[in-house]
Structure 1
């Protein structure tokens, strides 16, 4: 499963509310001078253990996932195409020959491509649902039995889901049975819970000042895996799609073993190891940590009641509400990216292997945006234009939204490779949108003790957007294919419109931070 786009913590962990905000600050403000430059970080042995094991875990699991993405799409398309050919009384041997232009045209026909988009779109949605629904219970469980056991259960459930996908394809079962893959994630929560536990472990052993940088370094492993894994999978696809498809699962299973090298950090919060939490952290822990006594059901009920009473500011503060809506709108376009390979393959008559290279190009552009463009832009806004942090983040969010509008519009109307690459470039510039909006919204929270509530709302908003977007964009692609190949970019046009709608509330936000309590 794709971990790179799901690194946002879902749980109301005592420390977790710092993660996304400080990740934004560390990325947007990485150019700010530090007191002392070091070749290697001055980490404790436990911190090094967490970072090395976490990096290897993310790198291997993501690499296995990305190397399997192109062949998975190819295999599903072949199955749908074979069934479609048989339904119109063609011989199955015609498809197995597979190289004649007539059969290739059938596989790229609106009927086949509509079903392919529908299957993959709903599959992504059903894969996300268990993590969204079970995030809070597994978060509470992690506070009772430990982070590592929950992470192990999540990874085991994720591997079971991947195995089910291979079973359906290998035995040529109805492809819509792929939607049941999410059922296998129920015992452990799946992808997002696994990532959340990893980020929680990082939050446990790093101070508030170091967490953002540590998490950003781990997140970079996902981009490295994407840049290397997708072109490798696309290259291996040319000989036999089943080789990279099975190899990807094997790499994911072996890579999951690295979770066993992660330390259990439940009892290390505010302990030694060179980590000194400030008094504000201690206040948050006392207010946000679930009680160690009582059943899980009682704790969930208490948490729900506490959330209702403490979340009133989400709806009464216009700027906070606008920020939540902006994150929701900005998350909808992400699902259109999953259609990029299928869209390019059909419109430009590329093979799925050739179209898959575009995701690697997108990963490279995104990495350049995060490591070079964003720090330089942030430094320019703060040092030369003398923007404060809120105005700077607002400016970055607005620029990112405009880039999203242009990027998805260019992709939707692309008729040449150049215009397609230009659209992908602008999409990479849109990556910081959600992070910047979250950082801005944090400044409008009435009390620091309510930051965790805000982040929970942001996470729910983004997750709901992702759940909705999968089938919606799949349906839009099917409608576009039925209208004609020139309309196949319809989901990307809608993605452009969504970014435009997200830009409107961000433009309306004014940079005035909260007044601290007691002032």
Structure 2
């Protein structure tokens, strides 16, 4: 009996309820290999798909009876926004970083990088991420976009015109973007990406910096910067041309009067006087000019990169105006020496190099103009912007000769004063150019300045240790950024020495043509006009058209496009130089010169390519370093080319003697 009066066995009078076997509905197990076969049947790999769009439709996609392939919208009928959203960018970088961390094949050159997220960012920058963005629509249908399509089309849209406010609000309300109140965008998706949460947060931070670095200026704002920049470049080159010839004439007259004070009438024109063409006068003139070049190059070589770093940190316009002021002070010093020849010896013009320590001189000025052109243009159109600066340079060079000729007819001092006037005009133009650095670059510069202020210690005014330490620190930074962190960029900059060495031989071409074909020096002057005309057509029309074809038709990334343009330009230079060497007549020589000049876009394509290899906060440092390499090459080009030319004449003479 039990405690309740019932029998323990038998269950009392009530009917015994017998439990029925529970029928469990289990999903049929997927046989090994069936999942892969299903993916192959659908022609896709789910691991390489990033889900976007309507979250409900994406979550229900796997529960529908209809095949996923039947719900795919054909590529030609896709109508969602053809650019990558911030949400998609973060998802892509996080997914790709996870794949790379699991030893997935990497599609870019690592260059020593080991962080999976940084590798993914580099793949995204070079448009080589092998992922597909699947955008689900509310009705369950979806569109597939490759990363390359979204990056290429989005870049083209962004570079064609800036978004208006209405367009921006429409984009923010796009169904492809996550809800505004969603703190974690991955909560809206049924797929679990918790393992890449850290990578996604870092990717979002990178995307924020990417937006700050992007150029969101309107066309009118860009023109407001570009037009004064082009005018500055034009006036600078014309001003340099106006100063060269008058300075030679003024110095020759001053030396001649100093050596023959009793034989020359006062106030007379000495430009054709035979005494002024004597060897004594010409030797002294060559000495003054030769050492002047050395004293003017040294400040730019020693301080050029430092001023470039300052331009990255404190702004382009400030350093640009300081460089302009330094050039004007050096010109005013020349005026002072020329105005008081009885008191100040002519050789005191060598001291004008001291004023170029302020701003780095004309070479730094030109480097900063290239920097401004790089700041206001996107990667795709950077080469075109720099090419237009080249057009302004060649146009000014071509017009500088006639302008100088007519100015010299009114006197050397008038032409010299007109050249100074052009530099004053350049200074006035710089006051209307706004700052061109990106917001991210400004923030980084401010953070660096605050860090330097926090680390700084007070020293006596005569203590040079802080200056030495700053010089060492800047040298280390330049070495790390240009040579160690990116060895390819360092090699490219070093190659500038040899390209500049070749350009320095232009004067020898005239001398070679005069000797080879029996021309006079006056007759060889038309070679400069031919080169100038070809260069203008090249930089204004031919190379910009080639750049757009490579971008639009061949869809090359900007840096690859610039690389091909650089290689093509160098090939034209090599072919033209070989033809010049073998030219047996004047006509063939001129045709060869045209072919060689078609490679004149090398420098501009090179600058554009190099600017894409460094962060935007170091562009000015890069271009000033490039100018320093050019100046070093120019300093040694004269003796080297003169020696080679003399050796060539000796070889030619020996061959003629044998014949």
Equivalents in 2 of 1:380, 1:259: separation in Å? 34
- After alignment, is 220-229 or 378-387 more displaced? 378-387
Secondary structure of 2:365's match? Answer: helix
Paired residue for 2:567, among 382, 386, 394? 394
C-alpha change, 1:338 and 1:170, in structure 2 (3 Å) is: farther
Q: Deviations over 1:58-105 (max 9, x none)?
A: 222332322333333333344445556x3xx982249946587xx44x
Larger Rg computed on CA atoms: 2
Which position in structure 1 is the counterpart of 2:41? none
Alpha-carbon distance, 1:465 to partner = 0.7
Paired residue for 1:49, among 224, 230, 235? 224
1:152-231 aligned at under 5 Å gives the runs 152-172=321-341, 174-231=345-402
Alpha-carbon distance, 1:310 to partner = 5.5
Equivalents in 2 of 1:128, 1:461: separation in Å? 11
1:44-193 aligned at under 5 Å gives the runs 44-81=219-256, 86=260, 91-93=263-265, 96=268, 98=270, 103-104=273-274, 112-113=281-282, 115-172=284-341, 174-193=345-364
Unaligned regions of 5+ residues in structure 2, if any?
A: 1-155, 162-216, 457-465, 651-659
Whether the aligned pair in 2 keeps the contact of 1:404 and 1:429 (CA below 8 Å) is: no
Q: Would you say 1:262 and 2:430 are equivalent positions?
A: no
Whether the aligned pair in 2 keeps the contact of 1:157 and 1:186 (CA below 8 Å) is: yes
C-alpha change, 1:99 and 1:258, in structure 2 (3 Å) is: closer
C-alpha change, 1:214 and 1:165, in structure 2 (3 Å) is: same
Q: How many correspondences in the alignment?
A: 421
C-alpha change, 1:147 and 1:392, in structure 2 (3 Å) is: closer
Alpha-carbon distance, 1:380 to partner = 11
Equivalents in 2 of 1:115, 1:421: separation in Å? 36
Equivalents in 1 of 2:545, 2:436: separation in Å? 36
Alpha-carbon distance, 1:290 to partner = 4.8
Q: Deviations over 1:267-301 (max 9, x none)?
A: x435xxxxxxxxxxx9x997999554315856654
Equivalents in 1 of 2:250, 2:229: separation in Å? 31
Q: Deviations over 1:288-344 (max 9, x none)?
A: 9955431585665444334445566599x7x87765554212212444447889999
TM-score of the superposed pair, with normalisation by structure 1: 0.62
Alpha-carbon distance, 1:152 to partner = 1.3
Equivalents in 1 of 2:159, 2:330: separation in Å? 44
Equivalents in 1 of 2:554, 2:380: separation in Å? 26
- After alignment, is 326-335 or 198-207 more displaced? 198-207
Alpha-carbon distance, 1:258 to partner = 1.0
Equivalents in 1 of 2:359, 2:321: separation in Å? 8
Q: Deviations over 1:467-486 (max 9, x none)?
A: 3335766xx4xx99xxxxxx
Which position in structure 1 is the counterpart of 2:144? none
Equivalents in 1 of 2:506, 2:297: separation in Å? 16
Paired residue for 2:416, among 221, 227, 245? 245
TM-score of the superposed pair, with normalisation by structure 2: 0.50
1:439-478 aligned at under 5 Å gives the runs 458-469=626-637, 476=642
Q: Deviations over 1:380-412 (max 9, x none)?
A: 9999999985566434313213434665998xx
Q: Deviations over 1:33-52 (max 9, x none)?
A: x899999xx94443222112
Equivalents in 2 of 1:253, 1:305: separation in Å? 36
Secondary structure of 1:208's match? Answer: coil
Secondary structure of 1:206's match? Answer: coil
C-alpha change, 1:350 and 1:157, in structure 2 (3 Å) is: same
C-alpha change, 1:241 and 1:288, in structure 2 (3 Å) is: same
C-alpha change, 1:132 and 1:204, in structure 2 (3 Å) is: same
Whether the aligned pair in 2 keeps the contact of 1:327 and 1:437 (CA below 8 Å) is: no
Alpha-carbon distance, 1:248 to partner = 1.6
Equivalents in 2 of 1:45, 1:382: separation in Å? 24
C-alpha change, 1:189 and 1:343, in structure 2 (3 Å) is: farther
Alpha-carbon distance, 1:257 to partner = 0.5
Equivalents in 2 of 1:250, 1:424: separation in Å? 35
Task: Tell me which protein shows more helix as a share of its residues.
Answer: 1
Equivalents in 2 of 1:73, 1:178: separation in Å? 13
Alpha-carbon distance, 1:256 to partner = 1.6
C-alpha change, 1:99 and 1:191, in structure 2 (3 Å) is: closer
Equivalents in 2 of 1:360, 1:151: separation in Å? 31
Equivalents in 2 of 1:345, 1:95: separation in Å? 36
Which position in structure 2 is the counterpart of 1:25? none
Equivalents in 2 of 1:373, 1:130: separation in Å? 37
Whether the aligned pair in 1 keeps the contact of 2:368 and 2:623 (CA below 8 Å) is: no
Equivalents in 1 of 2:538, 2:406: separation in Å? 26
Whether the aligned pair in 1 keeps the contact of 2:237 and 2:396 (CA below 8 Å) is: yes
Which position in structure 2 is the counterpart of 1:278? none
Whether the aligned pair in 1 keeps the contact of 2:384 and 2:547 (CA below 8 Å) is: no
Alpha-carbon distance, 1:345 to partner = 11
Equivalents in 2 of 1:289, 1:332: separation in Å? 40
Alpha-carbon distance, 1:162 to partner = 1.9
Which position in structure 1 is the counterpart of 2:451? 293
C-alpha change, 1:250 and 1:466, in structure 2 (3 Å) is: same
Equivalents in 1 of 2:236, 2:618: separation in Å? 31
Equivalents in 1 of 2:410, 2:526: separation in Å? 16
Secondary structure of 1:209's match? Answer: coil
